[in-house]
Structure formats: structure tokens, C-alpha cells
Structure 1
Amino acid sequence: MNPTSAHLRTPETPLLAGLPGPWTAIAVVLALAIYPLIMSSLGEPFYISIGSRVLILALAASALNLALGYGGMISLGHAAFLGAGGYGVAILAKYGVVAAWVAIPAAVGLAAFAALVIGVISLRTRGVYFIMITLAFAQLFYYLAVSLPEFGGDDGLPLSARSEIPGLSLESDLAFYYFVLFTAGLAFVLLYRLVASRFGRALVAIRENERRMAAIGYPVFRLKLMAFVLSGGLAGLAGALLANLSMGVTPHTLTWHQSGLLMVMVIIGGSGYFWGGITGAAIFLLLEETISTHTEHWNLILGALLLFIVLVAPNGVMSLRERILAARRAPAAVPGKSAGEENAR
């Protein structure tokens, strides 16, 4: 057997080890499905919108994790794809195209095309040059959105109503939550399939040793470009949903600050873990929402808490699970006896 093929079939990298089991996935879906019903029964409908925001940004962070965790592509330009999706929906709505089955796929296509253009240019470089090129493109899109009156300038573009689905009104926060849950769920299934496929394993191998993969004949550039475009398209989907949630889009969505927040979410949850982006987004947004309601200095407290999390779990919160499982699998040492003494016995 080709040693590289054997390597691609080894599910021991953190990325592949973090795949959810069927019962875990079912439990998460059921919990998310009953969450808005519980909030409604408690008279807290505001938290339904918070749940929608968590799901959307979890999707955006997971999209970044596809590029960062799989291919090792450290992108500071994913805000460009998030904004492209949002502006795509808003511009189409401005011209009367409000059907969700048209507007949202078009927004995803726009973001994927932007990722294709940026990827073709930036993926020919490495390291800090790649980071700076992706950042430069995001800033270019930001200044483009600010300077063009067609894009609403500094004020952005408002939505008079959410995208329309025949037979279903998304104006209700509850209905919109379930629409987001369904749409994001399909995206996460796609991500799962990518992670478990040979394509995903090849990306992991490229991340670990790009030169070796190129030397044995793998189309490294094409595989990385495919991952980057898929990542951009999924970020665009999140942007389209976010624009519908916020009833509009502003240039702030395109700033490097937004790209940085997505990266922070991935790092907190665990870069290269399937649940990393989801967990990181949930932790970040719930901490932000909880602390900001109690003090005006919430940024300081949030920063300290995030620093503590990173120090306790430098590889992300999801790495703690792997460490706990590894500790349980390790044989317990006999107190007062060395391994050599045990072997001698």
C-alpha cells in the first residue's frame, strides 16, 4: 500500500478525531429544536434571536475552520465573504428580488466567486504574505462598499422585509430561527461529509506536509483552492442569513475586526475540530451577551475570560475532550512502582 494513502486513511489527526458521533449529533439537533420553544414558554422571545445569531456565526466560524483547520490557510479576509453574502441579498432585495430560493443561492455564489478570485491570487503565496493579501482584499471590499452610493455608503443597505419562502413567513423570529437551523444544518452536513471524505483527509495531509503531497503527485494548489472557495461560499451563506436577521447589512461586516472575531471563535473552540467553530461561536457570543448586560466594562472582563480559556486549553475547548478521553484510555500507573519494575514482574 502507498504510505501516503495509508496516512490519508488514518483518523488520528485532531480534525478527524473531532467528528461527531450519530447520538451526539441527534442530541444537539434535538436541543436546538426545543430551545426556542423553551424560551417562548419562559416569556423570553429575545433569546430566540440570540440563538439565530449563534447559529449563523457558528456557521461562519466553521467556514473559516474549513480553510484554517484543514489546509492551514490563515485568512484574515473571511469578512469579505461574509459581507458579500449580506450585500448580495440586500442588493437583490433593493431591485425587488426577495425570493429566498433565488437571493440566498445568488449571495452564496457571489461569495464563492470572490473566494475564487482571492484564492487564485493569494494561494500562490505562503505565510504572512497570504495573510496580508487576504486582509488587503477584505479592506478593498470595505472601502468599495463605503465609497459607492449604490451600496448605501457608511449606512449600508437596509432590508424592508426578510427573504420570502412560499407558504412560510420569515418575519416571525421563531419561524426564522427554524429556517436558520434547517439551512445551517444542511451546511454542517456538507462540512461533515467533507471532513470524512478523502478530500478532507488530503487537505489534512497538505496542511501537515505540503511539499511531500506535491512531490507524490497530489494537485495541492487545486485542492487548497477548492477548500478556500467552499469556505468562502459557506461564509457567504452565513452573511446572507445574518443580513436577514439584522434586517440589513453595513460595511462593518467587511472590516478586519469581523475577520478577527471569527478567528478568535475558531481558536477558542479548537482549530481543526469539527465542533471547534460551533463551540467557539457559542462561548464567545453567550459570554458577550451575558457580561454586557451587567457592566459597561464588559470588553475588559470578556477579554480576561477568553485569555483564561486559551491558557487552560491552548488547542481549544474541544481539545479538552480529547485529553480527557486519552487519560481514560491510558492504563493507571501503580503508585510507588516504575514502568520498568512492572515489566520485570
Structure 2
Amino acid sequence: MGKKIHYHKSVFQGAAIFIMFFIWSHCYGQPGSVRDRGESYLGCRTSNTTSFGDIWLSFGGVGHVWDKHPSLLDSVSKDQLKWYSNARFFPEFRVHAGLFSFGMITIESRPVSWSLEPGWVSGELKLTMPQNDHLRFVGIGYSLRYAHHFWDGPPTIGGYRGFTPEGYITEGGRIENRLLLELDFLAHKGRLPIRFITNLGLRVPTDRELWSSSQLLLDVGVVYNAHAYDLFFQYSLEAFRNFLEPKVFTMNDSQKHSKRWLVYFTENMSYLSLGGNVRFPKGSMFSISIPMLLSVNQQSSISIHHQELLDRKSGAFPDEEKRGIRDPFDPWFVKWKIVTTVTVPIRFKSSNSELIRSHLLYQNRNKPNRINFDEFIRELNK
């Protein structure tokens, strides 16, 4: 019951932040025609690429709330129960540029992470169809990303290598391939500014011993574009190959004792995210998104009580006991996040496609048509 109340409170807090952002975007968002052709929406990559020669800089950070509610911890007595969070905030930077008419490159970094140590750095190449300078109803793209992480932990979930509050992360490199599919209904129906985006990929560690821990990546997003702001919903999943059977992990601890645990499909890291952008006249953009954890535990969880039940073979967790499991596991990932980003153009030249998009979105505004005759005459004179 305590876990459910705590989760509902987290969802309410996230929704409240999102509603405040929506009101603020209506008050302060202003029309502008400077748009990045290759922009992404949180983890959802569009099929388009940044226009040739354009350079954009983004900086912001990720805030975490990942602790369990005290009622679920063995070391906390009932008279000490109160809501609290273990919050973290990590800065991140990104720069991306259009290489040619159908390609772009992105460099990202988290310079400071857990224990005030360097986090990760990555480079990504994204390619799209040659008709990148046109609004397309159906868009297809491909991205290849290499990321290097400087740590396995701490912290780790249960002391198990690779399992951190942010997902399965191991020290060293990993390669991510993604197929990008997009339906842009504004190109098909000029009054329907909706995008449907799907990214399907595979993440493979460069360490050959970890190839069996490769993950399937899925991001599905729905985006509503307005002239001065955007709203989007996204579902993301990072799954091991455990669709039909749980995946078995093994490792040796400091005493050289072998640990062995299971990860079920519902324990894969998955999030539902709400987010939005506010655009300003010269191209600057403020983004905020709130991912909320959907992962669900199966069988035992990481606690002293469940460890004792497994040791006694009590029958409380029949599937794990049948497989000879003596080490509990549960998806103790970040319960919810706040991701904020400010993006500014360093070098920009308007593309035909985004000029058309801006014009169509301007026409779709729910505002009465007003004629400024002085402005009209000035335009005629030009």
C-alpha cells in the first residue's frame, strides 16, 4: 500500500509540473520561423536531419528521484515513516550539425555524474532519405551511435554489476543502431499538426563477454506541433532477450562467491514520458519532460526478508526456487525524472521544409484573422 501511495504521489507531482509548463508556454511562447529540421523529442529521434551547415547547441540536465518509499525498507521503523527522496541532478551538453543534405552528426556528454566523476560521452551519425528538404508524410532514417561510459557504478542495484538506477550500464563502449520511422500528418493534412514517431534499435556492448546482455530499444512518440510550442508523449523500453523466459545473470562478488539472479520481461526498464517545448523568435527553445517508471517487479525483491525466504526455500517464489535462484532482484530504477534543456542556434539558414511547416502552423492558430492595413501596404511596396 505504501508503494502504491508513493507512486501515485510521484505521478501527481509530475503532472502538476507538466500543467504549469503548459500554462507558461501559452503565456510566454512566441511565434518564430527558426526551426531545427533534425530536432528530437527526448529519446524519440525524427527521421529528418539538421539542414546542411546548421549548428545547434543544447545544455541542460537530468534530475532523478530513485529511492524507495521508507515503508519498503527493512531499516526504517513505522514511527519514522515520511515521504523523502534521494534526488540527483546531472548536467548534460549536446551539439549537433548538418553534414550534408541528408545527414547530421551529434556529440553529447555528461561531464559530471555519480560521485562527481565523469559520466559518458557519445557521438552519433543520423542519415535520412534524400528528400530531407521537403515535408514528407512518410519519413525513414537510420542512426548509428557510439557511447563510452566511465563507470559501472556506484550505485548499483543489489550490488549487481551493470544494474544502476539509470538502467543497465557497464564501463566501456556500446554501439546503438536505430531504424527511424515517422508519419508527419501536417504534410498530408495541412491542418493536422501531429507526428507519430517510432525508433527500433539494438544496443551491443563492445566488450565481447557482455554480448549476451545486448538490449532491444524501442521508443514510440506522439507529437503535437503548435507555432510557439510542442507537446509530446513517449513510451520507451530497453529490453533484454527475455520475452518468453527470464534472463539469467551471474557474477562473482568480492569473496568470489557466485551470484545468480533473474530479470523478467516486466522488470526491463520502461518509461512513459510527458514533455513539451517552448519556442522563441530567434530560434531558442526551452524543453522539459517528465519520464515516469512503468517497470513492474516479478517474484522476489531486494530485501532482507525476501533473501531469507529464498534461503529457506519457503515456496514464496516458486519460479525462482525452481530455477535454483538464491539472489533476489527487482527493478529499482529511477522512479521519475525531470529533464530540462535549452537549445540555441549557433549557425542557421532557413530550410524550405521548416519554413513551410512554420507557415502552416501559423495558419492553424485559433486566432481571429485581423488585417493591419499599414503592414499590408508596406509589404506591397516591398
Give 1 or 2 for the bigger CA radius of gyration: 2
Greater helix content: 1
What TM-score, normalized by structure 1, do the two folds share?
A: 0.28
Highest relative contact order (Cα 8 Å, sep 6+), 1 or 2? Answer: 1
